[in-house]
């Protein structure tokens, strides 16, 4: 089940990573009589004590307009569990209660209106004693008619802290009455409505130093935010505010100071609108690609963790977009010291991740992020978009290094996706939860499915190992190699609730060579014994209750997964992987594409008996759906040479331009104007995080489509897009490494390798590029041409000659 290799050598040097904001610990808001709704430039205390009582310096807010690299649903092992206050007015101290001493009421058996939804996340709340509404006009009309604030709660079905808040607060009868009587309560699945999530996360992040899920925001009836936060415990603690207190205070202030809250919310919305504007303005051209490339690399170099790889303190995310940038940087600077440095940073990071606990060594695939610097203890969610992008990253690493360690990891990722996230109709499900019951009938615990005790391993792997220099079982060998101990290898500081006491996360501690030498064994014998042991653990794990599967299928993430299978299949020469990509693309066309309108649907859902279901009315696609699907189709076209996928990509790009392009300012909006009607902001995605920005991916797509078709319109749009993002690129290029790659590619001369074999001269590609008809095969042999600006080299029939020409 796992390829085993030695960890890379440790590098000396200063650790320069930067920590990320803790996503489960934020409270932001506007004071009823404070400084107004202006978003402050720097960091400092906010006023507005009228809303929250007497100021407390230890709870002073620290608002900032610097957006973090990513928001997250935090793990229960995050070190600081207290809710820090970031508000225009500090919260009152409250009592000494905590969520652990509250017994939520038994959920009501009568469902609320969410029972009619398809989203797994919304259905998880269908039996709350809360009068929940889905996002839509019914809720908004009620808020306006009854003049009530809207309580908007956003999350997703595999989010640990979303589960916690649902159990503690939304199942509580008193909280249910407050939310139903004094507010119009709206539940949103962020994966169904990324536009809603982005708009209000912009508010959270701009008025605090972090963000995450669950995201809880209070809105005016006109959908303008005035207070927000992330996870709240039910009761107040010594240094944290409880959800009950928050609701009572907001109810009071809405009654007493509503006009002031409305005025402040309008000012904040105006400030956010001005801050979020992305436009070409008077600029005619984008910035220098070489300059942005160099600055992006230098910023990454400064934050690189020399010892463990990665680019931050804990928590650490995989960030495949950064790794792709480093590989591209190496490609264009491979004869320089910086080029070698970029390659080393990327390969070292990938190897440390693959050897760490963030990778599931038993069942393959990667967890969402590591809670520590060493990649040891993960937050145990598994997300489809991570698997898709990491498969590509490890395939690229193999291409560059020739080290089969990386190709084995890529194969393992796709094996996991094919086995656990694939739908029989060809699509791919969204995620697996972090939580599951240790045994049937028990309460779910985070990581229960993935951790092991020494006793369990000894019972499963008790056979003696022949030839060892001391008495040894296969279990003892595996435990030595993967660092399992009787007391468990999870630090109490990373397990504040003690749920993982005495349990272990598998992480490679020694190279195969060192493990073999320790017991006087042959390296290949150790490899075989360990792989056999992992397979036995895998079979035993099948009997545990599995984590919840979010069977929702998203067009965007399915597009990324088509890319993952297509690129890896092409790199490794594995037709079966390309077939998975083909089936994924067929699924998208069959189930997520409306032929009549030419539009993509955002979501569909796994029904009973392997069927596929849709919401009514359908949830139409967002920019990221089009951009990621177009990328997947282009990758599949290159891998399979089936021109139908290129044709569909062109059709979808036309639809994307029609629905999302900003004809005045340049670049693409995240949502259709009609779909996002009523939202206070219409944003353009401007950050490459856990997923790449759809604008960054679109820039690459436009360049590739221009190369395939020669149509000048695609290049003109790409230039306009890059020009619109000039200011963002100049200010913080490291926030947009994928777009920096596109900028560099745009400003370099595009080389195309055209290979003539037995193709049809009247094919789709030949019709798009008429100059192809002037090229001829030599002696009925496969013949290559290297072309620039539709001017081609002499014909080449020998691979060595082609290689020599490409390296010039």
Ordered by where they begin, the domains of the chain are: 27-276 (3.40.30.10), 450-543 (no CATH), 749-808 (no CATH)
* Residue 73 pLDDT grade (very low, low, confident, very high; cuts 50, 70, 90): low
> How would DSSP label each residue in 729-746?
HHH-GGG-HHHHHHHHHH
pLDDT at 177: 97
Q: How confident is the model at residue 215 (pLDDT cuts 50, 70, 90)?
A: very high
| Per-residue model confidence (pLDDT) at position 755 | 85
Look up the pTM and report it.
0.86
291 pLDDT above the threshold of 50: yes
**How many residues does the structure list for the chain?**
808
Are the C-beta atoms of residues 548 and 157 closer than 8 Å to each other?
Answer: yes
Task: Give the residue among 573, 634, 578, 575 at the shortest CA–CA distance from 399.
Answer: 573
Average pLDDT over residues 196-225: 92
DSSP state of 167: I
The answer on pLDDT for 808 being more than 90 is: no
Q: What are phi and psi of 399, to 5 degrees?
A: -55, -45
Q: How confident is the model at residue 204 (pLDDT cuts 50, 70, 90)?
A: very high
Contact between 449 and 503 (Cβ < 8 Å): no
Asked if pLDDT for residue 87 goes beyond 80, the answer is no
pLDDT tens sequence across 316-349: 999 999 999 999 999 999 999 999 999 999 999 9
The pLDDT of residue 761: 62
Q: Has residue 781 got a pLDDT over 90? A: no
Q: What is the mean pLDDT of residues 240-258?
A: 95
pLDDT given at position 710: 87
pLDDT of residue 752: 83
Distance CA 718, CA 192 (A): 28
- Taking 70 as the threshold, does the pLDDT of residue 132 lie above it? yes
pLDDT in tens, 716-736: 999 999 999 999 999 999 999
pLDDT at residue 756 in the model: 83
Contact, 726 vs 286, CB < 8 A?
yes
Whether the pLDDT of residue 353 is over 70: the answer is yes
Q: Which residues, in sequence order, are bridge partners of residue 422?
A: 428
Pairing mode, strands 783-788 and 133-134: unpaired
Per-residue pLDDT, 759: 66
Separation between Cα atoms, residue 369 and residue 356, nearest integer Å: 11
**What pLDDT is attached to residue 773?**
75
Q: Could you tell me what percent of the chain has a pLDDT over 70? A: 86
Residue 227 CA to residue 323 CA, distance in Å, equals: 37
Q: Residue 784 in contact with residue 797, Cβ under 8 Å?
A: yes
pLDDT of residue 23: 34
Report how far residue 2's alpha carbon sits from residue 481's, in angstroms, rounded to the nearest whole number: 13
* pLDDT classification of 625: cutoffs 50, 70, 90: very high
Continuous segment of H or E residues that includes residue 219: strand 215-219
Residues 483-490: what's their mean pLDDT?
Answer: 97
β-pair partners for 225: 219
Mean pLDDT of 725-749: 95
- Split at pLDDT 50, 70, 90, the class of 209 is low
Q: Quick one: pLDDT band at residue 760, thresholds 50, 70, 90?
A: low
- Is 90 exceeded by the pLDDT of residue 70? no
Answer whether residue 229 shows pLDDT above 50.
Answer: yes
Q: Over 70: is that where the pLDDT of 564 sits?
A: yes
Residue 165 has pLDDT above 50, yes or no: yes
Element (H, E) at 184: strand 184-189
Q: Using a pLDDT cut of 90, give the percent of the chain over it.
A: 72
Beta bridge partners, 783, equal 756
Average pLDDT (611-621) is: 93
Q: What is the pLDDT of residue 219?
A: 97
Tell me: pLDDT of 95 over 90. no
d(CA 513, CA 521): 9
Q: How confident is the model at residue 769 (pLDDT cuts 50, 70, 90)?
A: confident
pLDDT of residue 762: 60
What pLDDT is attached to residue 284? Answer: 80
d(CA 806, CA 808): 6
Pairing of strands 549-550, 431-432: antiparallel
Separation CA 559–CA 592 (nearest Å): 11
Q: Which residue stretches of 592-622 are H helix? A: none
Q: Looking at the DSSP assignment, which residues form a beta bridge with residue 481?
A: none
pLDDT bracket for residue 194 (50, 70, 90): very high
Instruction: Compute the average pLDDT of residues 650-661.
Output: 98
| Angle in degrees, CA 212, 499, 189, rounded to 5 | 30
The answer, yes or no, to whether residue 97 has pLDDT greater than 70, is no
674 neighbors 648 (Cβ within 8 angstroms): no
pLDDT at position 5, please? 39
Report, as an integer, the average pLDDT of 772-793.
Answer: 83
How much is the average pLDDT of 454-475? 97
Residue 266 has pLDDT above 60, yes or no: yes
Read off the pLDDT band of 33 (50, 70, 90). Answer: very low
Mean pLDDT is lowest, of 12-21, 491-500, 770-779, for 12-21
Tell me what pLDDT residue 2 has. Answer: 42
State residue 71's pLDDT score: 45
Q: Is the pLDDT of residue 99 over 70?
A: no
- Cα separation, 505 vs 355, in Å, equals 12
Q: What is the pLDDT of residues 578-599, one digit of tens each?
A: 999 999 999 999 999 999 999 9
């Amino acid at each position: 089940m796992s390829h085993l290799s030695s960890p890379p050598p440790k590098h000396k040097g200063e650790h320069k990573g930067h920590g990320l904001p803790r996503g489960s610990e934020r409270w932001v808001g506007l004071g009823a009589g404070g400084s107004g709704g202006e978003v402050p430039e720097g960091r400092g205390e906010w006023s507005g004590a009228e809303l929250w009582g007497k100021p407390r310096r230890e709870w002073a807010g620290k608002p900032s307009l610097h957006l973090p690299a990513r928001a997250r649903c935090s793990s229960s092992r995050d070190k600081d569990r207290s809710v820090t206050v970031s508000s225009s007015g500090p919260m009152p101290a409250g009592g000494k209660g905590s969520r652990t001493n509250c017994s939520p009421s038994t959920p009501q058996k009568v469902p609320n209106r969410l029972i009619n939804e398809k989203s797994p996340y919304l259905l998880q709340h269908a039996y709350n004693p809360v009068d929940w509404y889905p996002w839509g006009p019914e809720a908004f009309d009620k808020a306006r008619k009854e003049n009530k604030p809207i309580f908007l709660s956003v999350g997703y079905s595999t989010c640990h802290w979303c589960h916690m808040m649902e159990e503690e607060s939304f199942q509580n009868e008193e909280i249910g009455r407050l939310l139903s009587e004094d507010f119009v309560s709206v539940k949103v699945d962020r994966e169904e409505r990324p536009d809603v999530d982005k708009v209000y996360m912009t508010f959270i992040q701009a008025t605090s130093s972090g963000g995450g899920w669950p995201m809880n925001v209070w809105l005016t009836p006109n959908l303008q935010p005035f207070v927000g936060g992330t996870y709240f415990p039910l009761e107040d603690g010594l240094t944290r505010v409880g959800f009950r207190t928050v609701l009572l205070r907001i109810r009071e202030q809405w009654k007493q100071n509503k006009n002031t809250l409305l005025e402040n919310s309008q000012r904040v919305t105006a400030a956010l609108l001005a801050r979020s504007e992305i436009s070409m303005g008077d600029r005619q051209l984008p910035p220098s690609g070489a300059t942005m490339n160099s600055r992006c690399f230098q910023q990454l170099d400064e934050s690189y963790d020399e010892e463990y790889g990665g680019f931050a303190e804990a928590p650490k995310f995989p960030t495949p977009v950064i790794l792709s940038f480093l590989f591209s940087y190496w490609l264009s600077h491979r004869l320089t010291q910086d080029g070698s440095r970029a390659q080393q940073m990327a390969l070292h990071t990938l190897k440390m991740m693959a050897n760490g606990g963030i990778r599931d060594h038993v069942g393959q695939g990667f967890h969402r992020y590591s809670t520590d610097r060493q990649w040891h203890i993960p937050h145990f969610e598994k997300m489809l978009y991570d698997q898709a992008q990491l498969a590509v990253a490890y395939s690229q690493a193999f291409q560059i290094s020739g080290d089969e360690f990386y190709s084995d990891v890529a194969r393992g990722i796709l094996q996991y996706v094919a086995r656990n996230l694939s739908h029989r109709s060809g699509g791919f499900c969204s995620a697996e939860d972090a939580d599951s019951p240790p045994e049937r009938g028990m309460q779910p615990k985070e990581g229960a499915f993935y951790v092991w005790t020494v006793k369990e391993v000894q019972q499963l792997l008790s056979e003696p190992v022949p030839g060892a220099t001391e008495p040894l079982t296969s279990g003892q060998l595996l435990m030595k190699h993967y660092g399992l101990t009787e007391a468990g290898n999870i630090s109490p500081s990373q397990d504040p609730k003690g749920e993982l006491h005495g349990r272990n996360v598998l992480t490679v501690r020694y190279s195969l060579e060192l493990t073999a030498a320790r017991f006087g064994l042959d390296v290949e014998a150790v490899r075989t014994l360990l792989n056999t042991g992992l397979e036995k653990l895998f079979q035993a794990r099948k009997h545990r209750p599995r984590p919840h599967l979010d069977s929702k299928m998203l067009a965007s993430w399915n597009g990324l997964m088509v890319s993952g299978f297509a690129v890896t299949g092409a790199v490794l020469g594995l037709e079966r992987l390309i077939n998975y990509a083909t089936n994924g693309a067929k699924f998208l066309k069959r189930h997520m594409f409306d032929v009549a309108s030419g539009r993509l649907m955002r979501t569909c859902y796994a029904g009973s008996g392997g069927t596929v279901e849709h919401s009514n009315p359908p949830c139409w696609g967002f920019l990221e759906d089009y951009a990621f699907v177009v990328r997947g189709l282009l990758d599949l076209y290159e891998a399979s040479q089936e021109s139908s996928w290129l044709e569909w990509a062109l059709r979808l790009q036309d639809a994307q331009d029609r629905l999302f392009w900003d004809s005045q300012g340049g670049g693409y909006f995240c949502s259709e104007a009609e779909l996002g009607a009523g939202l206070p902001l219409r944003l353009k995605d401007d950050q490459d995080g856990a997923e790449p920005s759809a604008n960054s991916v679109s820039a690459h797509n436009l360049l590739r489509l221009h190369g395939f078709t020669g149509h000048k319109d695609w290049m003109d749009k790409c230039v306009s897009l890059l020009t619109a993002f000039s200011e963002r690129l100049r200010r913080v290029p490291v926030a947009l490494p994928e777009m920096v790659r596109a900028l560099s590619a745009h400003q370099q001369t595009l080389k195309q390798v055209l290979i003539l074999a037995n193709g049809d001269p009247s094919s789709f590609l030949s019709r798009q590029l008429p100059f192809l008809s002037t090229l001829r095969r030599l002696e009925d042999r496969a013949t290559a041409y290297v072309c620039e600006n539709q001017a081609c080299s002499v014909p080449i029939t020998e691979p060595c000659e082609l290689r020599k020409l490409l390296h010039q």
